[in-house]
Amino acid sequence: MSTISLDFVSDSAGHSAADVTVVGAVSTKDGPRLHAAPGFESLEEVLTQLGVTGSPDSFARVILPDAPSTVVAVIGIGREVTPETLRAAAGSAVRQLAGTASVRLALGLSAHADVVAVAEGAAIGAYSYTREKGLSERKTAVESVTIVAPEPLSDDEAKRVLETARAVHLVRDLGNTSASELTPEVFADAAVDSASELPIDVTVWDVPKLEAGGFGGILGVGRGSVHGPRLVKLEYAPDGATSHIALVGKGITFDTGGLSLKPANGMMGMKYDMLGAATALATITAAARIGIKTRMTAWLCLAENMPSGSATRPGDVLKMYGGRTVEVTNTDAEGRLVMADGLAVASEEQPDLIVDVATLTGAAVIALGKRYTGVMGNDERASDVVALADSIGEKFWRMPLPSELRANLDSDVADLVNANLSRREGGMLLAGHFLAEFVGTREGSDEQISWVHLDIAGPGDNGSATYGYNGKGATGVTVRTLLALAEQQAAA
């Protein structure tokens, strides 16, 4: 996990203390222009010759003619200067400067929201995964960032920025780890370690406890692997909390598809199928470190989906937690099976809101691409979460749950099927309907507990692409929104 120090200086501070000073350029119809960069006027007339465009993620490192000992990097901001474009520019610059010890960001900040955004982008972008490098070069993340700003962040603001980045980096570390090194039991141990010095209670269900508890979905997915499944519950209950959010995270540490085996190229990237559980873990530990006054529980549904003589077969019927039965028509639709157990057990505690996070469907990637999180839910809390994400610069999009699709989950032998192989349309929405079946009701009422589903199959990992503060591999998407949601609940 990367660490970074943040410092703040006024506009009058010199720029020679850092290894590289970063200025921003915007893209206009008349070509690139520096954005509020006094002292760097000599660059203005040569931006085009230097290959600077001002577009997002464009990056050029130059030496000032009148100060040859000073290294300057020009980062593109785009056409508009907003907190989000500044957050992305700061993160992109720090990410692309990996291998540099110290960086000074002189991005022409005036509004306090811009200072917060730049600090957050820089802290999140200061990440490098080198744990499994052998003899090749290890470019370490930037260690120190100085931000030119009219005033510094408060201690509480700086703490929140750094803890948010720490949480995002935890998701990235777990996601980028090889599946052979992050089996369900290792993931469970990592969760225990992450919470060990925090006011968080942790309970782990191993295979015997899962069997005794009736967690048929998690057991059914994990029984083909020599690495047994786990369910991990983390509970953070600060004094004075008046509301309760339950997070349920999909944690398939590797997904072969089971006996419904994926093609070879379809297995690449399947180590990322545990990002929902990593997100739930990172969010609750960050909330505890920040001291957010919202009760939170996180349920990590961990299994490895492998083909073997003991694996669940297509046509098998699983008895899920709570008693509902599912005919498994596709063992590669395994995430919803483990999540069903998690949603059912989370419902028993009657939280005010359940949010599940999962790399659930390839259909989400087809529908929304690689940068949008698909959102579904059973009431207007789903729209509230989308609006919250939009306000802090994460891309969420609400999808419907059309009632006519529910019949596609009917089974002749069980309560429902986990997938309908004869109907390809609306795959993401059908998965949402499946999950909704396992959300409990309010005590003494037929009304369901408020539930929001986040499908991060697209933006959860970048593969080999990069943008903004997101490098290759796992991104940590939705952590910022979930922390903001916890803060919103505390203030309600």
Rounded Cα distance, 413 and 445, in Å: 29
With b meaning 16 or more CB within 10 Å and e meaning fewer, what string describes 466-482?
Answer: bbbbbbebbbbbbbbbb
Annotated binding residue 447: no
**C-alpha separations of 123 from 88, 214, 220 in Å:** 11, 43, 40
**C-alpha separations of 486 from 161, 248, 295, 311, 381 in Å:** 15, 14, 9, 38, 13
Give me the amino acid identity at 404: E
Rounded Cα distance, 297 and 235, in Å: 4
Intervals of CATH 3.40.220.10 along the chain: 5-149
> Helix crossing, 83-96 with 112-125: angle to 10°?
30
Annotated binding residue 197: no
- CATH level 3 topology of 164-491: Aminopeptidase (3.40.630)
* Stated pTM of the model: 0.97
> 245 in helix, strand or coil?
strand
What architecture is domain 5-149? 3-Layer(aba) Sandwich (3.40)
Annotated binding residue 380: no
pLDDT in tens, 174-188: 999 999 999 999 999
Owner of token pair 């990593």? 278
> By 3-state DSSP, what share of the chain in percent is helix, strand and coil, each rounded to 5?
35, 25, 40
Annotated binding residue 250: yes
Residue 51 is predicted with a pLDDT of: 86
Annotated binding residue 7: no
Intervals of CATH 3.40.630.10 along the chain: 164-491
Provide DSSP, 124-178.
HH-----TT--SS---PPP-EEEEE-SSPPPHHHHHHHHHHHHHHHHHHHHHHS-
Environment class of residue 407 by beta-carbon count within 10 Å: exposed (0-12), middle (13-18) or buried (19+)?
exposed
Residue 68 is predicted with a pLDDT of: 66
Query: What are the tokens at 4?
Result: 């970074």
Backbone angles phi, psi at 408, to 5 degrees: -70, -10
- According to DSSP, the residues that pair with 461 across neighbouring strands are 474
Owner of token pair 């040859």? 68
Rounded Cα distance, 124 and 161, in Å: 9
Long-range contacts of 51-56 (CB under 8 A, 24+ apart): 52/25, 52/76, 53/25, 53/27, 54/25, 54/26, 54/27, 54/28, 54/78, 54/79, 55/27, 56/85, 56/88, 56/89, 56/92, 56/467, 56/468
Give me the amino acid identity at 222: G
Active site residues: 262, 336
Residue 44 is predicted with a pLDDT of: 83
Query: What are the tokens at 304?
Result: 């490895």
Residue 43 is predicted with a pLDDT of: 86
* Tens of each residue's pLDDT in the chain, 492 residues: 668 999 999 865 455 579 999 999 999 999 999 999 888 888 888 888 888 999 999 999 987 766 666 789 999 999 999 999 999 999 999 999 999 999 999 999 999 999 999 999 999 999 999 888 877 777 899 999 999 999 999 999 999 999 999 999 999 999 999 999 999 999 999 999 999 999 999 999 999 999 999 999 999 999 999 999 999 999 999 999 999 999 999 999 999 999 999 999 999 999 999 999 999 999 999 999 999 999 999 999 999 999 999 999 999 999 999 999 999 999 999 999 999 999 999 999 999 999 999 999 999 999 999 999 999 999 999 999 999 999 999 999 999 999 999 999 999 999 999 999 988 889 999 999 999 999 999 999 999 999 999 999 999 999 889 999 999 999 999 999 999 999 999 988
Rounded Cα distance, 453 and 447, in Å: 17
